[in-house]
C-alpha cells in the first residue's frame, strides 16, 4: 500500500502544479454618471411647441463666405471653423452664465435634441460684454453648462461680439436685419441667428425672443437640409 501511494503522488502533483486559477470576472467599466441640475429635466423635446410662422429670412447669397473659414477655437481649445458645420442648419447664439436670460439654455438644448438628427446644431459663443455676465474661465463655463443645463451642443471660446475687437463671425452677422428692421450691434446676451443649411439665408431674433418661440422653431425647420 505504501508503494502504490508513492507511485500515485508524482502523477497527481504535476497535474495540480500546472492548473492555473482563472481571475475573477470583472464587471464592465461604466462611465461616471453625470449629475445635472434641476433645470436639465426640462430639456425634453416633447415640451417644445409646434412651429409657428417664421419671419422672412434675409437672402445673403455668398456674402457670408468669409465667415465659414474664419479660424475658431472650441471651449476646449481645439481649432475649428464654421465650415465643420456647413450643410447643417445652425442656430448661432451669444451666451452668458449669469444673465437673466441664461435659462434659455434649457430650450436651446431641447432644440438640439429634437433637430440634431435632421441636420441641425446650436453653436454657442460665450461673451462677457453685457454686464460682465460671463466672467468665468473656459473650464468654469464648460462645467456650468454641463452640470446645470446638460448642454451637448458645440460651444466656442469666449469672444467679443461688439466693438473694435468684434469677432470676424459677428462682423459678418451684425449687418443682417431682423424682422423689425434692426441691424447692427448685438443688443444683449442670447441674440440668435438661424442660418440655412445652404448658407444663403439668415433669420435674426432679438435676445428676448426665446429659443422655443414658435417663430424660431419655424425658422429652424425652414433652414434644415432639404432631403
- What are the catalytic residues? 99
Which residues are CB-contacts of 182 (< 8 A; sequence separation ≥ 6)? 204, 206
Q: Give the closest residue to 209 by CA, choosing from 46, 72, 70, 91.
A: 91
DSSP 91: E
Angle in degrees, 0-180, between the axes of helices 104-115 and 138-149, rounded to the nearest 10: 80
CA angle 84, 88, 90 (to 5 degrees): 95
Instruction: Quote the CA–CA distance of 70 and 72 in Å, as a whole number.
Output: 6
Q: Give the closest residue to 223 by CA, choosing from 199, 190, 207.
A: 199
Amino acid at each position: 500500500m505504501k508503494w502504490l501511494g508513492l507511485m500515485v503522488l508524482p502523477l497527481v502533483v504535476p497535474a495540480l502544479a500546472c492548473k492555473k486559477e482563472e481571475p475573477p470576472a470583472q464587471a464592465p467599466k461604466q462611465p461616471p454618471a453625470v449629475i445635472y441640475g434641476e433645470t436639465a429635466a426640462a430639456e425634453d423635446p416633447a415640451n417644445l411647441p409646434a412651429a409657428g410662422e417664421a419671419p422672412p429670412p434675409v437672402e445673403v447669397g455668398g456674402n457670408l463666405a468669409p465667415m465659414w473659414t474664419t479660424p475658431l477655437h472650441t471651449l476646449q481649445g481645439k481649432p475649428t471653423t464654421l465650415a465643420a458645420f456647413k450643410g447643417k442648419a445652425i442656430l448661432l447664439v451669444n451666451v452668458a452664465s449669469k444673465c437673466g436670460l441664461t435659462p434659455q439654455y434649457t430650450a436651446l438644448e431641447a432644440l438640439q435634441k429634437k433637430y440634431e438628427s435632421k441636420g441641425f446644431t446650436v453653436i454657442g459663443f460665450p461673451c462677457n460684454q453685457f454686464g460682465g455676465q460671463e466672467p468665468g474661465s473656459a473650464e468654469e463655463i464648460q462645467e456650468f453648462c454641463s452640470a446645470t443645463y446638460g448642454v451637448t451642443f458645440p460651444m466656442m471660446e469666449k469672444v467679443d461680439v461688439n466693438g473694435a475687437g468684434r469677432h470676424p463671425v459677428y462682423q459678418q452677422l451684425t449687418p443682417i436685419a431682423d424682422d423689425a428692421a434692426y441691424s447692427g450691434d448685438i443688443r444683449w446676451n442670447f441674440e440668435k441667428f438661424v442660418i440655412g443649411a445652404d448658407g444663403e439665408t439668415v433669420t435674426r431674433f432679438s435676445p428676448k425672443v426665446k429659443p422655443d418661440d414658435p417663430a424660431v422653431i419655424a425658422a429652424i425647420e425652414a433652414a434644415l437640409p432639404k432631403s
